[in-house]
Amino acid sequence: MMSCELDLNDIVTEFLLNTCRPCQRSQSKHAVWAALCCSVLTTWRLRDEEDTEHILIPLTTGSAAEFYIEPMLPHVGDIEVMFHRDDQLAIPRGHPPPTHLPAEFHNYVQVHEIIDSHLPGYVYLGLRYLLTECSDDNYNALEHGRGLYLSNEPVCRVAEIHGPALVARHGSPQNNSIPLSIDLVRCVRYLSWPPQAASWPTRHRNYGCPDSATLNRVVNNGCDVVGVAHRQYRQDERMSERQWRLSFSRAEIVLINSWMPVQQIVYHVLRYFIKTERLTDCADNFGAGTLSNYHIKTLMLWACELKPRSWWTDDVDLVRVCVQLLHDLAEWLTYRQCRHYFISNCNLIDNYSFSVTNVRDKFVNR
């Protein structure tokens, strides 16, 4: 019996390794739609109270940006595009205003301080400075009175709202096409690495993963703040409109693209298993109503850091690797502990996220 299981594992492993190849992203349907969506966003114009036009600056995130392999089964569900305004910027609380900005920013920029809430990873944005460009990409700062919080209301109210995203759908079963969902996520650009994740770049790593070059690239990219309140406060009208969440999508893209092909294959298989077993029915990063893609992503990020390269590459058995990681996930559920990969004091499993007992029992019964 054991021999049969090992033979089956070998067959599955060989099949996945032989059918997963580096993909030509520019030729995929999802990449084309993501590029088209980004192009459309750059044509949108927003007007402020002074009737000044502002543009939106997009970034493709999620699966379309993370995977560099093409498995036999579709690994891309929704297309995710984040966008920020060219006149808004976030900085750490107590830090001086920037005097130099990338060329993408407007000549008049509102600078908002990041104010921590009592929930790790969730923050408020308080207007602190007004920047005016005085020469090429150099700015003068005028201090603004405190007390004005930036609202996280979406730029468009007619679209379906899902977490921080505006959801647009294309295609339908009636015309024999696969419905394609495009998530548009409003954010505020945060050019520096956040103090809330200060320990991430310097923490001890036994196996040197990620390497120093990848760490530097992640930190230099900074992060973003997306407009969504914690589930605990989404019924509170005042709180739900003021709360934001730190987003590490830029960091995740860099890290996942640095993984070995076998790690990307395992990530794909785990996501597909969780979805097909109906253990997740939403992809609302960090705060979902049930298990989400973000829990699987967090599981993989920790595994790639904590396990030696030999664990992935010696006598490759993809079934064994996936089963072991699912056992790790079950243990997280048992102890109600899923540490955020970047924010050390943030737990992604709490009583407000979902019923741990129901999810764990359904998971273990599989």
DSSP state of 281: -
Tokens of 128: 């602190």
pLDDT digits 0-9 by tens, 353-365 = 555 555 655 555 5
pLDDT at 288: 44
Pairing of strands 79-92, 138-143: unpaired
Are 348 and 284 spatial neighbours (Cβ–Cβ below 8 Å)? no
Long-range contacts of 36-45 (CB under 8 A, 24+ apart): 37/79, 37/81, 37/182, 37/184, 38/81, 41/81, 41/83, 41/184
pTM score, whole prediction: 0.87
* Residue 277 or residue 197, greater confidence: 197
Q: Compute the distance between CA of residue 205 and CA of residue 362 in angstroms, rounded to an integer.
A: 34
- How crowded is the C-beta side of 126, counted as CA atoms within 13 Å? 15
Own/partner pairs for 276-279, CB < 8 Å, 24+ apart?
Answer: 277/366, 279/359, 279/362, 279/363, 279/366
pLDDT digits (tens, 9 = 90+) for 71-121: 766 655 568 899 999 999 999 999 999 999 999 999 999 999 999 999 999
Residues pairing with 208 in the sheet: none
Q: Tokens for 57?
A: 């600056």
Phi/psi of residue 339, nearest 5 degrees: -70, 130
